[in-house]
């Protein structure tokens, strides 16, 4: 998809480098066409609406105005271009719930996590990326195999740990691992879990005899 965040609708034909401050201008006593009037009226509302993308996308030209982009599926790459002014702001909202999307800025690729909001600011040379809203990251019916457990020494009473992959999680998330009633009552599993980059750790006092299915995991952002 090609995204248009230019001011072309309010530029004068033949004067592409001139952007009027308040819509299309013409000579004295020369009226606007119906299309020009509609473009001027609707541009503020178009600015408020997100551009929804569902496949790999970039821009038709350098970015000339602030914008909001909604990425509705994982595995999509948005390739940024330059902006025409310092301080240009593009917000990216991800509405998918699993997996990752990416935004490419030059040779650098940034991961975009589910159900999050990012603010990109242009400094005159490149874009900075800041995650301005973090949502809970969840997983359901996660199965941990017996062979996933390995010895560990962090908690003396729980000498085995298993890593569970969970994209987007890091040490700024607090994990809530909700075992089934039978597993919680068994005394095998620690009442705490830890997070690391894109994974969480659960702990056990011994290696379970069979694989364990965890009904719900909820990781809440701390900051």
Confidence of residue 216 (pLDDT cuts 50, 70, 90): very high
- Residue 171's Cβ-count burial label (10 Å; 0-12, 13-18, 19+) is exposed
Greatest mean pLDDT among 19-28, 124-133, 142-151, 214-223: 142-151
CA distance 83 to 64: 6
- Indicate the residue among 133, 168, 183 that finishes a domain: 133
User: What is the predicted pLDDT for the residue at 74?
Assistant: 92
What local confidence, expressed as pLDDT, does residue 42 receive? 65
Q: String of b and e for 113-152 (b: at least 16 CB within 10 Å)?
A: bbbbbbebebeeeebebeeeebbebbbeebebeeebbeee
- Based on the fold, state whether residues 126 and 143 are members of the same structural domain: no
Of 87, 113, 133, which residue sits at a domain end? 133
The reply to whether 117 and 198 lie within a common domain is no
Is the confidence at residue 193, as pLDDT, over 90?
Answer: yes
> In terms of residue numbers, what domain contains 173?
137-221
- Residue where a domain stops, chosen among 103, 133, 163: 133
User: DSSP code of 14?
Assistant: T
On the question of pLDDT at 204 being above 90, the answer is yes
More confident residue, 168 or 92: 92
Per the CB < 8 A criterion, the answer to whether 127 and 95 are in contact is: no
Domain count, the chain: 2
- Check whether 20 has a pLDDT greater than 60: no
Asked if 39 and 143 sit in the same domain, the reply is no
Cβ(201)–Cβ(192) under 8 Å? Answer: no
């Amino acid at each position: 998809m090609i995204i248009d965040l230019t001011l072309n609708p309010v530029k004068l034909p033949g004067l592409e480098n001139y952007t009027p401050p308040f819509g299309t201008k013409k000579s004295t006593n020369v009226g606007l066409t119906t299309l020009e009037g509609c473009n001027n009226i609707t541009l503020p509302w178009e600015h408020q609406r997100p551009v929804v993308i569902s496949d790999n996308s970039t821009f038709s030209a350098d970015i000339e105005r602030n914008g909001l982009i909604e990425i509705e599926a994982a595995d999509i790459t948005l390739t940024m271009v330059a902006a025409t002014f310092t301080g240009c702001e593009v917000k990216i909202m991800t509405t998918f719930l699993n997996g990752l999307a990416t935004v490419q800025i030059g040779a650098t690729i940034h991961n975009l996590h589910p159900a999050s909001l990012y603010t990109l600011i242009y400094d005159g040379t490149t874009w900075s990326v800041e995650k301005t809203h973090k949502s809970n990251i969840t997983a359901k019916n996660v199965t941990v195999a017996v062979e996933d457990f390995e010895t560990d020494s962090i908690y003396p009473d729980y000498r085995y740990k298993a890593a569970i992959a969970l994209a987007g999680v890091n040490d700024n998330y607090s994990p809530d691992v909700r075992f089934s009633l039978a597993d919680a009552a068994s005394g095998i599993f620690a009442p705490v879990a830890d997070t690391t980059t894109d994974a969480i750790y659960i702990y056990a006092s011994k290696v379970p005899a069979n694989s364990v299915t965890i009904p719900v995991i909820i990781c809440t952002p701390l900051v």
